[in-house]
Amino acid sequence: MYTQPKILYEDEYLLAIDKPSGMVVNRGFGAVDTVQDWINSTQDFPLAHNFELRNGVVHRLDKETSGVLLIAKTEDVLRTLQGQFKSREMEKVYVGLVHGMVEPQTGEIDAPVARNPKNRMRFGVVEGGRDAVTKYRVVAHFSARPEGRRLKSANTAEFSLVEFYPKTGRTHQIRVHAKHIGHPIVSDYLYAGRKTARHDRKWCPRLFLHAAELTFKHPKSGERITVKAPLPHDLSKVLAHLSAH
């Protein structure tokens, strides 16, 4: 069971929370105990009880993705922050553990993303899709057989811890782009393949993707603000089972 969100930053205009993995952001499709519900029940500002404007939620994170999420307290602040996302003024940093040894150490993935016509729950790199750009930097390489389990074969499995810097905000963009370059994110049940994800979840029980940092221009003062969410305990524990090299 996930924990409750933690407030990382707050002033009279907005707040930034650390969304726990397992918590859905938006209401709908039977989702309960969402971020919107949490805002409605614990916060008191102009948009806190306005479900039509998503209780001030500015953007979204996938259910299993943890990390920084922005919430606006008034409609004008909501529109301003959404505009910064749309105009690509937001600077986003995600941390992900991926399969394999990513080379080169830094790079840019420029590949259009669209919904998979054969499976509406998935997205993919599709010619004619919406433009999508993700820069990345490899932080560390790992190899391991956590707790003696065989991960893929008799050979030691290899992984890369990567910082991703998405310049666009397409649904599942980082997950799709990671798969596109041949290095799917660990425990990604949609894009790593069922067999691989099933093995992954024996030692990494959820998608290893975390929204670690968000930099934006304050909608009132114009000041550049950076909000950081430390790597959560569950993902830190996963790394502790791996051997860096």
39-65 tens-digit pLDDT? 999 999 999 999 999 999 999 999 999
Q: Which domains does the chain have, with CATH numbers?
A: 1-87 (3.30.2350.10), 91-211 (3.30.2350.10)
What pLDDT is stored for residue 146 in this prediction?
A: 47
Among 11, 33, 44, 62, the one annotated catalytic: 62
Cβ pair 52, 63 in contact under 8 A:
no
Spatial CB neighbours of 75, under 8 Å, sequence gap ≥ 6: 46, 47, 53
What pLDDT is stored for residue 30 in this prediction?
A: 72
Annotated catalytic residue 188: no
What pLDDT is stored for residue 120 in this prediction?
A: 79
Residues of the chain short of pLDDT 70, as ranges, are 1-2, 145-156
What pLDDT is stored for residue 3 in this prediction?
A: 83
pTM (predicted TM-score): 0.93
> 184: how many CB neighbours lie within 10 A of its CB?
23
The helix or strand, by DSSP H or E, that contains position 123, with its residue range, turns out to be strand 123-125
What pLDDT is stored for residue 2 in this prediction?
A: 67
Each as own residue / partner, the long-range contacts of residues 46-49 (CB below 8 Å, 24 or more positions apart, any chain) are 46/73, 46/74, 46/75, 47/72, 47/73, 47/74, 47/75, 47/78, 48/73
Cβ pair 95, 231 in contact under 8 A:
yes
Amino acid at 38: W
For Cα atoms 226, 228, 229, give the angle at the middle one, nearest 5 degrees. Answer: 160
